[in-house]
Amino acid sequence: MRPTKADLEAARDRVLSDVLPPGGGALRVLFSGINPGLYSSAVGHHFARPGNRFWPALHRSGFTDRLLDPSEQDLLADLGLGITNLVPRATARADELTDEELREGGRRLKALVERHRPAYLAVAGVTAYRTAFGRPHTQIGPQDETFGPARIWVLPNPSGLNASWQLDRLAAEFHRLREAADALSGLGGVRDVP
């Protein structure tokens, strides 16, 4: 059921829990959004707003063997995938976040990566990444910088509002990341969703 206007307003500033493998399980890729939108916060699932292309891009890129619904986000842990956000609090728009919140989110994300040690950290949103980590010239794709053992990949924001990155182009960038993560872990192909 779609959230009502009252549900969306009640979701403002709510924190959406991270999706991580239980008990410190292996983490191939930790995806980080900018922050949860009100829709995602209201329904309790990452990248849940209709029109967000995260889940279709994840599937088309070969990370999953079928298109997952946001309500199935916990299945990602069995695939060695996780989801977090730079800033955990929900807002209607990412531009409601301050630069200081993004920088603090960058510190929080770096600590999370050091604790969970994913092979890759994939940040979905180049502008937020630039602000959070003080890297004003960052481009989409793999980065030279690492956080401990984690390599960093900056992805385009999968929001439907990001018109310059249509689904096919977005899925191609996710595919590049999947191939790099597979090569690092010695795995190949699509993972069957449990």
Q: Which of 48, 52, 51 is nearest to 8 (CA)?
A: 48
What's the token pair of residue 2? 């779609």
Q: Distance between CA atoms of 27 and 38, rounded to whole angstroms?
A: 27
Q: Distance between CA atoms of 51 and 112, rounded to whole angstroms?
A: 28
What's the token pair of residue 12? 């403002």
Per the DSSP assignment, residues forming a β-bridge with 108 are: none
Round the average pLDDT of the chain to a whole number and report it.
Answer: 93
Element (H, E) at 135: none
- DSSP-based three-state secondary structure for 66: coil
Per-residue pLDDT tens for 130-152? 999 999 999 999 999 999 889 99
Per-residue pLDDT tens for 10-60? 999 999 999 999 887 889 999 999 999 999 999 999 999 999 999 999 999
Element (H, E) at 25: none
Element (H, E) at 183: helix 167-185
What's the token pair of residue 170? 């977005």
Residue 185 buriedness (CB in 10 A; 0-12 / 13-18 / 19+): middle
Instruction: Sketch the domain layout of the chain as residue ranges.
Output: 5-185
Q: Distance between CA atoms of 115 and 38, rounded to whole angstroms?
A: 28
Per-residue pLDDT tens for 66-119? 999 999 999 999 999 999 999 999 999 999 999 999 999 999 999 999 999 999
Q: Where are the beta strands (DSSP E) in 133-185?
A: 141-147, 150-155
Residue recorded with tokens 């983490």: 27
The per-residue pLDDT for 142 is: 98
Yes or no: say if 113 and 86 are a contact pair by the CB < 8 Å rule.
no
Residue 189 pLDDT class (50, 70, 90 cuts):
low
- Domain 5-185: what homologous superfamily? Uracil-DNA glycosylase-like domain (3.40.470.10)
